[in-house]
Chain A
Amino acid sequence: MTALLDVRDLHKHFGALAAVAGVSVAVAEREVVGVIGSNGAGKTTFVNMVTGYLPPSRGTITFRGRDITGRPPRQVTGLGIARSFQVPQVFASASVLDNLLVAIGIAEEGRLPIWTPLRRRQRVARALATLESYGIAGYASQPASLLPQGVRKLLDIAMATVRGPELLLLDEPTSGISVGEKFAIMDTIMAALRAQRTTVLFIEHDMEIVDRYAERVIAFADGVIIADGPPQAVIDDPEVRRLVVGERVKVAE
């Protein structure tokens, strides 16, 4: 079986600093992978390179057997890889509905979407249905700048999924969300993604979330992968405990 995403020997240097120093990983179709690692371990840089925001200093990224190394985000997006952001990237002055409509409009139309009205009826229905599946349809007419953090995160993810990506990279989907809400929000996200049969790779600091939703966990430290396997095995790994999990597990227990 060939992997959906195959990353080989990926490096990223910022001057003398190696943010990612030789990462090789393969993700199979329909897998749900959690990525853990302390701040500065290279997780977001890894996602930035896979989605084309940063060109790698060395290494290759293959998606569905096709080399996508160094392609810009819009091409990577077009090929079926989407991502969400640690800080939600939404159109702040537009309404939630318009945010999603723009995403759908771009996905549905070609290179010059200059004629069909954005707010055509079927499209609005589709947008509302998507918002419904993320449980935020009630906010449809609110400007995105006024949303609570959790809703903004969901909108960010909803916008990333309108193309029906095969691979979705989530950068800390629960950061900035209160402890009380985070499981409900992750349930919503995962249910929506399962319905679309999306392969998911998510970065997460919260070990409870990782343990509960990931089928496989990859641990980053200092720009390399130090453990890769089933969640509990990785979280219990002494090296991972020392470098990544640290005190957190005690809090969780």
Chain B
Amino acid sequence: MTTTVAILVDGAVYASWLFLVALGLTLTFGVMKILNIAHGSFYAIGAYAAASAVGAYVQAGLSPAGGYLVMAGAAAIAGVVVGYGLERGLLRFMYGRDAVLVLLVTYAVFLILDDVMLLIWGANPYIAYQPDMLLGTSTVFTLPYPNYDLSLIAVAAVIGSGLWWALSRTRRGKMLLTVIHDREMSTFLGIDVAKVFTVTFTLGAVLGALGGALTAPIISVQPGIGAEVIVLAFAVVVIGGMGSIVGAAVGSLAAGFAHAAAVHLFPQAELFVIYALMSLVLIVRPQGLFGQAQPRKI
């Protein structure tokens, strides 16, 4: 019983975290067809920005509750700066090129940003535990859980459903997803594709940074966290079907519970269970659970 509860709660928390991290990635892919390795950097930058901002805020001795706003604000600003700069300064010149080459470009950016972070924040870990501590813990069926972890579930649900609503329930969002890959049609309907791409990429970067910021209080922020996260986010997005927000949600849940089950029942598999799940999904359904297959016409 205890194990079941632990798997369920841990799984839900981990799934929420995965979802927050993968959401920006799937958005960028859905609209722009770009698989962005640098999304891992956005995550790391968000985590660093939040950790150092919270650190400074706590040092200044201001009301602790404001720390959450500072955390989110710092990540959002960092995401906008990096995302907007990258799209305008580099990526827009790559549109229309081979998908694998664009993937390599984002890999190059990932490598560069790695050292940019090292230059700004150094190699020593940042620890910003205050936002986590402040919320205390609750007991779920005899098991203590940090309220911060539990609140991640709510945050993920709110952000995810907000984005889903904007894209699939508003007229503009629906139109966007239907015609974005047909430039002529988009222009005809008055959609400025260049602007949509800029906004999407920036939003994706902000979501990545936010994912990092929300994680910052529960990990030690140090070099290498981006590399770890990006492959997990990829796996989640592939499981759910690339470009689908609902898919990312389902993928996160599947990966989250699989991970939690492995941790509690079969710890040897902890580190690879998500990739194994991804491989399994691809074998059975190559386009992912919610992806669409595109046959070629002759």
Contact = CB atoms under 8 A, between A and B. Distances in A.
Q: Tell me, yes or no, whether A and B come into direct contact in the complex with CB atoms closer than 8 A.
A: yes
Interface of A: 48, 53, 85-87, 89
Contacts of B298: 48, 53, 85-87, 89
Nearest to B298: A85
Contacts of A89: 298
A87 B298 CA distance: 7
A162 to B, nearest CB: 19
A50 to B, nearest CB: 14
Contacts of A87: 298
6 contacts: A48-B298, A53-B298, A85-B298, A86-B298, A87-B298, A89-B298
Interface in B259-298: 298
A86 B298 CA distance: 8
A25 to B, nearest CB: 22
A13 to B, nearest CB: 15
B273 to A, nearest CB: 35
Interface residues of B, number: 1
B298 to A, nearest CB: 6
A85 B298 CA distance: 8
Interface string B122-139: 000000000000000000
A86 B297 CA distance: 11
Nearest to A48: B298
6 residue pairs, one from A and one from B, having the closest CB atoms: A85-B298, A89-B298, A53-B298, A87-B298, A48-B298, A86-B298
A85 B297 CA distance: 11
A51 to B, nearest CB: 10
A122 B265 CA distance: 65
A119 to B, nearest CB: 27
B131 to A, nearest CB: 53
A48 B296 CA distance: 13
Contacts of A85: 298
A14 B166 CA distance: 33
Nearest to A53: B298
B4 to A, nearest CB: 43
Interface in B213-255: none
A89 B298 CA distance: 9
A53 B298 CA distance: 9
B278 to A, nearest CB: 28
A14 to B, nearest CB: 11
A39 to B, nearest CB: 14
A89 B296 CA distance: 13
Nearest to A87: B298
Nearest to A89: B298
B297 to A, nearest CB: 9
A53 B295 CA distance: 11
Nearest to A83: B298
A54 to B, nearest CB: 10
Nearest to A44: B298
A27 B248 CA distance: 52
B136 to A, nearest CB: 56
Contacts of A48: 298
Contacts of A86: 298
A175 to B, nearest CB: 14
A83 to B, nearest CB: 10
Contacts of A53: 298
A166 B298 CA distance: 23
Nearest to B297: A87
A170 B225 CA distance: 57
A201 B281 CA distance: 43
A152 to B, nearest CB: 15
A38 B298 CA distance: 18
A19 B174 CA distance: 31
A48 B297 CA distance: 11
B31 to A, nearest CB: 28
A44 to B, nearest CB: 8
A87 B296 CA distance: 13
A85 B296 CA distance: 14
B296 to A, nearest CB: 10
B101 to A, nearest CB: 16
B171 to A, nearest CB: 27
A134 to B, nearest CB: 21
A156 B298 CA distance: 13
A12 to B, nearest CB: 14
A31 to B, nearest CB: 25
Interface in B14-71: none
Nearest to A86: B298
B294 to A, nearest CB: 15
A109 B266 CA distance: 50
B138 to A, nearest CB: 51
